[in-house]
A and B are shown apart, each in its own frame.
Chain A
Amino acid sequence: MPLIDSGKLVDDAWVRLGDDDALPAADVPVIVSLARFHKDRASLAGRNGGLGVWLASNQHPKDIADHLADFALVALDFPKFRDGRGFTIARELREHLGYRGVIRATGHTLPDQYLFLVRCGVTQVEIPEGRDPALWAHALTEIDTAYQVSVAGPLSMARLARHKTTEHAA
């Protein structure tokens, strides 16, 4: 599937491995389910290629909290674009768990959600075949005001903080 990073189409070196698929060459980076990670930890750890984990939308970041250092990538599933759990999971990975690797959104998301994803800490998005990648690039430019704290931007009250007055009247 086409992959968007920072608004641009990029090559995807990662291979999504089914739970029963054989391991590819040792330098190919793979994304595995959490179940497979627990089952094959030993053989997965010894490879040169990067290791990524795929979380279903009902799996919790705390399930991987102890192993985050093992993962160069965390893929979050959006089974349908209306299922917004991934936004909270991504933000939690960044904010609470201090995760600094790649967070990839997989499944069904819309370009209209891309800016939100980025602001919650997602770095890459898989997009459906045949969709115009320019929509994702454009999505990053549509709205440049945000009123909330964002893990992608300066950690402050963002635009809400512009109301700060120099003196507190009370």
Chain B
Amino acid sequence: MSPTAAARQIDPPANGLPSHAGIYHYDQVDRDFLKQRVEQFRRQVARRLAGELTEDEFKPLRLMNGLYLQLHAYMLRVAVPYGVLTSRQVRQFGRIARQYDKGFGHFTTRQNLQFNWIKLVDVPAILDLLAEVDLHAIQTSGNCIRNVTSDQFAGVASDEVVDPRHYAEVLRQWSTLHPEFSFLPRKFKIAITGSSADRAAICIHDVGLIAKRDADGNVGFEVYVGGGLGRTPFIAKKLRDWLPEDQLIAYLEAVLRVYNAYGRRDNIYKARIKILVHELGIDAFRNEVEAEFARMPVAEYRLEPTIIDGIRARFASQPYEALEPISGVLARARLEDQAFNRWVRTNVAAHRQPGYAIATITLKPAGGIPGDVSADQMDAIADLADHYSFGEIRVTHEQNLVLAHVRQDDLPALWKALSAIGFGEANSGLITDIIACPGLDYCALANARSIPLAQRISERFADLDRQHHIGELKIKISGCINACGHHHVGHIGILGVDKKGVEAYQLTLGGSAAEVGAIGDIMGPALSADETVDAIESVVGVYLEQRQDGERFLDTLARIGHTPFKDKVYASH
């Protein structure tokens, strides 16, 4: 049997995974490993409860398995490798949410799912349920290589050069319980994309990879290093213009070795690789990496093309129908229903397969909690995925979901079904498509609440006509300087700060996580929550007044500068 033929039936039927979802399908080695990892954590929990591990010792061990102690309970962060899920996996989330949480889960900016109300004693049983569907919480936290993130449109985007999922899966396996890099100075995040449009925000990752092809069609990577947000935000710098595919593992090992040996361990705020790169300078850092790389037994680390082939073969392909490139059903529905037409404009993207489309499900209903999905909604979305998208669901770093293989003919029906569960909002990329971290309502690190502010902003701008009139405008809210809400790269960024025990919010303008990344500039003194909502209104007002034909918010800001916005916002102060 050829590898290609095998790709169609890689799963033991008893497993019951939808065979056409674009995930890496586990083999027995992966399943055996996962069982052992769950048992290992079960014993670690038992040792903690028995007092054989102190909290100080247990904490890094539980974090390395995605378990935090938050304000009100433990929080379990489940890995969604490069953001792709099967409907069966999503239903299992629903089951866990009902049985062990308060009936909902929260999708994060790192394409993960968090359960906010978890008991320590239940975690081993939850991990068993996750392992049943080939999921886990491995390395979703801790000072190790975190789960790799990627483009939510991987494999279907019309502008894609290389499908990044196969390499993301290589990196997932390589980084899993890496013996040398599990106690790094600080966390280490890798993002990979394979398109000209960067939907994976690689410029703000410890390592960002752009997969591309040379003139002969060979795959290689453009390598970026030292990006990150947090207290000291940096846009990543280019480390290599071309890294041949077969050297990917060797080169990343070299980067990690330099970081593990020389990254600062004296100050938690200076321990990320971005600080090492900044302090050494990119050229000196590159020299260190290349020196390490040059003396490695590169053959031992060679990522042979046949390994990629083998992994690629475990990604099922989708049995697309041969369709007309333009759907008459879709065209008519857009003409007949303005609301649907609006949703198509914002939430539907071009698919490389004729007659298909990519549908984004924004988890941002007016007044809702960004990224929150109830167990019932999870079940409903899983059903829709089975019906319309080969049983596959994707998570975006903007806290939305994607059905990546929808027949254009089916879009009207899909939209109606999404609207019925509260997720039919036509606001992808608009002002209410807000990214927000959990903030002080849940998080032990936060200085201020994020979610209520996001809710108030989305209520204020709920009018869809107005949102569409404003156009693309990305608001990102973080409840503290750790920047889980990516505020630095929001077109409008909002940072929660603690002003003598009272919550306040600092606004930034002009950030971007697109191809040309940019850190936003602070507008001025921090504001109260009420003032913040008004300030956003003022910023939008100035933009609408000043914008010229076809300008997006960032274009106008770049043309007229920050002053008119600042003047307006602080006029009454």
Query: Which residues of A pack against B, CB within 8 Å?
Result: 60, 81-85, 87-89, 91-92, 95-96, 110, 112-113, 115-117, 119-120, 132, 135, 142-150, 155-157, 159-170
Interface size class on chain B is 35 or more
B305→A148 contact, CB < 8 A: no
> Within 8 Å CB of B140, what residues of A?
none
A82-B60, A85-B261, A120-B179 given; A170·B300 CB < 8 A: no
**Within the assembled complex, what's the spacing in Å between the Cα atoms of A135 and B302?**
35
Say which one of B34-42, B333-341, B381-389 lies at the interface with A.
B34-42
Is B320 engaged at the interface, CB distance under 8 Å to the other chain? no
> Within 8 Å CB of A82, what residues of B?
60, 143, 183
**Within the assembled complex, what's the spacing in Å between the Cα atoms of A117 and B296?**
20
Say which one of B95-103, B309-317, B392-400, B447-455 lies at the interface with A.
B309-317
- Across the interface, name the chain A residue whose C-beta is closest to B169: A163
Q: What's the dominant secondary structure at chain A's contact region?
A: loop
Across the A-B interface, the 9 shortest Cβ-Cβ residue pairs: A84-B183, A163-B310, A119-B179, A116-B179, A145-B33, A147-B173, A164-B306, A88-B260, A87-B180
Contacting residue for B174 out of A110, A160, A169, CB 8 A: A160
A84-B183, A85-B260, A163-B308 known; 14 new pairs, CB 8 Å cut-off, are A60-B261, A81-B60, A85-B265, A88-B260, A92-B257, A116-B177, A120-B179, A142-B39, A147-B178, A156-B300, A157-B249, A160-B173, A167-B3, A170-B309
- Across the interface, name the chain A residue whose C-beta is closest to B312: A169
B143→A157 contact, CB < 8 A: no
> Within 8 Å CB of A60, what residues of B?
261
B37→A148 contact, CB < 8 A: no
Q: In chain B, residues 1-36, which have Cβ atoms closer than 8 Å to a Cβ of chain A?
A: 2-4, 27, 29, 32-33, 36
Is B57 engaged at the interface, CB distance under 8 Å to the other chain? yes
**Within the assembled complex, what's the spacing in Å between the Cα atoms of A85 and B328?**
62
Q: In chain B, residues 81-137, which have Cβ atoms closer than 8 Å to a Cβ of chain A?
A: none
**Within the assembled complex, what's the spacing in Å between the Cα atoms of A41 and B486?**
55
> Within 8 Å CB of A83, what residues of B?
183, 265
Q: What's the dominant secondary structure at chain B's contact region?
A: helix
- Across the interface, name the chain A residue whose C-beta is closest to B300: A155
> Within 8 Å CB of A161, what residues of B?
304, 307
> Within 8 Å CB of A149, what residues of B?
253, 300-301
Write the nearest CB–CB distance from A83 to chain B, whole angstroms: 6
B60→A87 contact, CB < 8 A: no
Contacting residue for A160 out of B61, B170, B253, CB 8 A: B170
Is B417 engaged at the interface, CB distance under 8 Å to the other chain? no
> Within 8 Å CB of B403, what residues of A?
none
Contacting residue for A88 out of B44, B173, B261, CB 8 A: B261
A168→B305 contact, CB < 8 A: yes
B310→A164 contact, CB < 8 A: yes
Can you spell out 12 A-B residue pairs with CB atoms less than 8 angstroms apart? A81-B57, A84-B180, A85-B265, A88-B257, A110-B61, A135-B52, A142-B40, A149-B253, A156-B300, A157-B304, A163-B311, A168-B309
**Within the assembled complex, what's the spacing in Å between the Cα atoms of A166 and B315?**
18
A110-B57, A145-B32, A148-B174 given; A165·B3 CB < 8 A: yes
> Within 8 Å CB of A135, what residues of B?
52
B313→A165 contact, CB < 8 A: yes
B40→A155 contact, CB < 8 A: no
Contacting residue for A164 out of B36, B295, B304, CB 8 A: B304
- Across the interface, name the chain B residue whose C-beta is closest to A115: B179
